[in-house]
Amino acid sequence: MPEITAPAKVLVTGSSSFIAIWVVRYLLECGFSVRGAVRSEDKGKHLLDTFKDAVSKGMFELAIVPDMCAPGAFDEAVKGVTAIEHTASPVHANADDPNEIIVPAIRGTLGVLESALKYAGPQIKRVVVTSSCAAIFSSSPQGELDETCWNEECLNEVNEKGRLASAINKYRASKTLAEKAAWKFVEDHKDEINWDLVTINPPYVFGPILHQVKGIDTLNVSSLWFYNALFSKDESISKDTLHDILLPRGWVDVRDVANAHVRALTTPGAGGQRFIISAGSNSWKDWSDVAIDLHIEGIKRYETGSEPVPKVGRYNASKSREVLGIKYREMKDIAKDTIQSFKEHGW
């Protein structure tokens, strides 16, 4: 597909969320016109205030989509846009029945694609879907994980155990199945559509908070885990907790994820591809050590002794660097900026 250039109009779903609001900001900074989809006018107030200059210039507008799983939910929102950034999806990991999280993820994704097919118009060129490294993850300690990998482990566990499957694998299954459904939709309708698909697959996402939050307990999941890992007052460390503290996890800054979403639109060769957006892999202890080295007060110290570091597969994000030109922020900068954002919110 040809390059998508400003001031083309881009629909951003779930635009009041942690990642999406940064996508909106970067799109506007690049000169794009943005239509932000939110569930209610109340959800949109913070966006209208944050981007009031863009609103006054006619570069930002809201689309109210109360239920993204409802038939035709995005029919009006997609009209006239040149591209779509679909970031909206359930991200909680506390579903009882796996379908509580899997079905909305699939329906929401397919709903956007169906609306794009029927109502977006001939000018639409690309749809970018925010997936996750959860759709790529493997518990195997061997080798690297790249964009050819799919998380079949979570699907097997959910199929075998149902409600008894682990909460995290229910979430991983929702991301895996939603992304698979998106690629299947494009393949099934390849003779009807004049646009292509890109998926963005980040691991744990940290960084400054731009979206509206009322308190620590209303933070997005990854930011809440980051806060608890570095500022929790619970000094007890069980064997299971120790493993969790030392377990390396993929990570990336929210601003780099947002940048990847924009570059996925402006890079012609990105079409039809998945992109792992990951800057590294480190444990909560590593993050604590980095914050302590930055002389940040109140950071929880982890004394783990000679406990070995668990071995896990690492995400290979070389394609994002080569194709999208992403230059990732370093741990120390992310730690500093994330914690500074917490402090600015009074936490």
What are 89-137's pLDDT values in tens digits? 866 656 789 999 999 999 999 999 999 999 999 999 999 999 999 999 9
CA-wise closest residue to 147 among 324, 2, 330:
324
What are 218-263's pLDDT values in tens digits? 999 999 999 999 998 776 665 567 778 888 999 999 999 999 999 9
Topology of domain 9-208+252-278+314-328, CATH: Rossmann fold (3.40.50)
- Asked if 101 and 174 touch (Cβ cutoff 8 Å), the reply is yes
Q: What are phi and psi of 302, to 5 degrees?
A: -115, 115
Strand, coil or helix: 300: coil
User: In terms of pTM, does the model score above 0.85?
Assistant: yes
Quickly state the pLDDT bin for 147 (edges 50, 70, 90): very high
